[in-house]
Structure 1
Amino acid sequence: MRYFHSLPEETRDRLAREQWQFHKGISTGTLDEIHELLYRRQLEPGLADMELRPGTTVESAVVDAAGRAVLSCRHRDTGRAFAHTTDLVVAATGYRDRTPAFLGPVAGLVARDGRGRPRVRLDHSLELGGGVTGRIFVANAGTHSHGVSSPNFDIGAVRNAAILNAVTGRETYRLPRRSAFTSFAPPRHRQPPGHPAPPNPQDSMSR
């Protein structure tokens, strides 16, 4: 997180786009349960066929005279259109960031980045202008500033500890400076001849 936060805005946005699969994982246990269910359906007579159709876009939906949903679909690889009729549709559309309405009265005091998003400091407080002396801390609002792992439950303890340390003004909860084997920044003391030393960003992610 420290390393990600130290990067330029355009670099952070590029990395977030490249890591789009981070929140789209599935556990081995769930996969085993799905496989077992589909396998058992093959052995039981009289059940409707089961289909999984990846690479398909649902473009529109209507309800027919029988009350069933008729989906207009398109296969992305071939461009072929087809209809699919079903009794039930579950729309798993994901999440979209939004600003809580209660922040409306102070929205003009929040500093913004190049894309209009709040600028979030490393301690998860918002950058405020206009001589504001108080602070606003945010949770689960720092994907663009702290990386795609910032909303995760396992990061919540680290984030909350950082916020409490900032509020109390002391290290109430000790956070390790280095908690991963991976170094994300280039080594600081191995510059090629004739190249000036770069700034000293934090080179490990706190996870």
Structure 2
Amino acid sequence: MVPYAEGPVTLLRREHKVLLAPDEARDVAARLGAGGAPTTRVATVYFDAPGAPLALRALEAPGDCVKVRAKAYRPDRSGRPGRVVLELKRERGGVTTKDRTWVPRTALAGALARLPVPGPLAPLVATSYRRRVWQPCDGWRVTLDDGLRFHPAGWRLLDPDAPPWPDRLPPPLGAEPRSVLELKLGAGAPPRWLVALVTERAQPYSKLAEAFARAAPARTRRA
């Protein structure tokens, strides 16, 4: 197996998403080989400019948008406790690219200010989920996310004394009952049954857009 979240397919790929009912997700995991899948809790904080232009674009066109987010993992994947990975993710024309940088959580504000994205950027919403990963080679990768929850987010998550994100995000605004399967394709050829599944059932889906939509009632109450 290729190390978790590493390899060329992480940074440049075609991405296909399928929403699965719990029993379907169990069947897919069994076919992929459940015993060989690294499992991680992931917490993601999304950042946006005033007026939420990135989130609104993800709502309107999930296949043609830009996302700025920071991820933390349990167990920790950074090699240095207290660090998170800052991602600038671009999706356009079926191709996904990522710029990934590991930074101390307390240095995120400065790193955000240096990104080539209109700002100022601030925490908008967050997500948490369990992720299982299958990546037998550099050419393709499958992730299966379940227990997906959507959370509010604020600058307090970046405080030096704030608990690690996977453990202490604010109470959720809602949850996704289905599992999210993502097939990330580089130059490899995944099993035919997996190609057939995504060919038949792939659909646009954005965790950012879903979290932003769930947060709408809270924004209305504050207005």
TM-score, scaled to structure 2: 0.20
Higher percent of residues as strand: 2
Kindly indicate whether structure 1 or structure 2 has the higher relative contact order, using CA contacts under 8 Å at least 6 residues apart: 2
Instruction: Give the structure with higher Rg (CA).
Output: 1
